[in-house]
Amino acid sequence: MSSGPVTLKRMLEPLRWRKSPDQPPQSQRCHHDPFDRDTVATIIESDIVPRLLMAHSIEPLTVRDRPQKRIDDLAVSRFAELPMTLEAAGLLDEVDRFIEAGVSVESVYIDLLAPAARSLGEMWTRDECDFVEVTMGLWRLQEVMREISGRYPSIRQSEGPAPRMACLFSPVPGDDHSFGALMIDDVFSRAGWESEVVPQPVRRELLDAVSRRPFDLIGLTVSRECAAGTLRSLITALRKASANPHVAIMVGGRRINEDPALVADVGADGTGTDARAALDVARRLVKAAPARASSQQ
């Protein structure tokens, strides 16, 4: 997991364009153009939002055992406009009203605050706000999450009597942004999986990791444009190197959500549009993995 406090400066660090001599050739890696509006919106969607959810992820005892109230779409839309106009204290008052009404803190994070952060990225893309306004809006949302996380400490699910399933998550090698993989690793850990993450991998490191331990599931996040052939080659190599002949492989992230047909095209077994969906798909894939492997032989 991450080290040190999550500050706005650290969240915006991906905007600093840099090249590394260790990166693969341009034709074989995921890439993006520096400092354009799509880049900022993508970083908010695939990096900053998951980073915030991962860093402040919570599972409060105070609301777990009572019926959970849903946040309706109108309320989500209304709240999404507030980070541009309200200070953090005002946003926190709004969030407190939802929690007092019976909305779980997890739902507040995933269904309310994350869409508000995404909305900032969309406003930037449409040229409806400048970079300073986006930065201030994100800072206010972060302050709200920091306050709530202090009230409701994180709780890991205890290990049950049944063996826990093992999974490994990583961004595609060459994709510099690891926040999505870090977030999904945390979500699966909370759900009882033995989860590991390789936040900044090279291809050989991933292959070595799956050869040493028989993971039930491998998850790859793809937040940038990436050649289908490159991803297909990586998945084929992971299956060949895996210590588990029945390993299930999922792909996810912004790029996959934009083009779900890539899942089958690159030879993956499934995807999930968000963390909740990914958990459900992963359980089904692991359960069905032996039969699926037999049918592919």
> Which of 92-96, 197-201, 213-217, 235-239 shows the lowest mean pLDDT across its residues?
197-201
Condensed to tens digits (0 to 9), the pLDDT of residues 79-134 reads 988 988 899 999 999 999 999 998 887 778 778 887 888 788 788 778 888 878 88
Condensed to tens digits (0 to 9), the pLDDT of residues 32-69 reads 443 445 455 555 555 555 555 554 444 433 334 344 67
Clarify whether residues 15 and 145 are in a common domain.
Answer: yes
Clarify whether residues 146 and 12 are in a common domain.
Answer: yes
Residues spanned by the domain of 41: 8-151
Clarify whether residues 113 and 218 are in a common domain.
Answer: no
Q: How many domains does the chain have?
A: 2
Clarify whether residues 142 and 171 are in a common domain.
Answer: no
Q: Are 269 and 292 in contact (CB under 8 A)?
A: yes
Give the model's pLDDT for residue 127: 82
Average pLDDT, the chain: 75
- 158 inside domain: no
Percent pLDDT > 70 in the chain is 68
* Structure-derived torsion over alpha carbons of residues 71, 95, 53, 66, reported in degrees to the nearest 10: -60
Report residue 19's pLDDT band, with 50, 70 and 90 as the boundaries: very low
Clarify whether residues 183 and 129 are in a common domain.
Answer: no
Give the model's pLDDT for residue 218: 97
Give the model's pLDDT for residue 269: 96
Clarify whether residues 17 and 143 are in a common domain.
Answer: yes
Give the model's pLDDT for residue 194: 92
More confident residue, 96 or 3: 96
Give the model's pLDDT for residue 156: 47
Give the model's pLDDT for residue 295: 61
User: Does the pTM of the predicted model rise above 0.85?
Assistant: no
Instruction: List 31's β-bridge partners, or say none.
Output: 225
Q: What is the mean pLDDT of residues 278-291?
A: 88
282: CATH: 3.40.50.280
Q: What is the mean pLDDT of residues 264-275?
A: 90
- 241 inside domain: yes
Strand order in the sheet with 166-171: 194-197, 166-171, 217-221, 248-252
Cα–Cα distance, 89 to 95 (Å, whole number): 10
Clarify whether residues 195 and 139 are in a common domain.
Answer: no
Distance of CA 120 to the CA centre of its chain: 18
Q: Which of 267, 258, 255, 257 is nearest to 231 (CA)?
A: 267
Clarify whether residues 184 and 121 are in a common domain.
Answer: no
Give the model's pLDDT for residue 1: 41
Condensed to tens digits (0 to 9), the pLDDT of residues 167-204 reads 999 999 987 666 667 767 877 887 789 999 998 889 99
Q: Which of 114, 237, 115, 269 is nearest to 172 (CA)?
A: 237
Q: What is the mean pLDDT of residues 14-29?
A: 40
Interacting residues of 85 by C-beta distance below 8 A, sequence separation 6+: none
- 160 inside domain: no
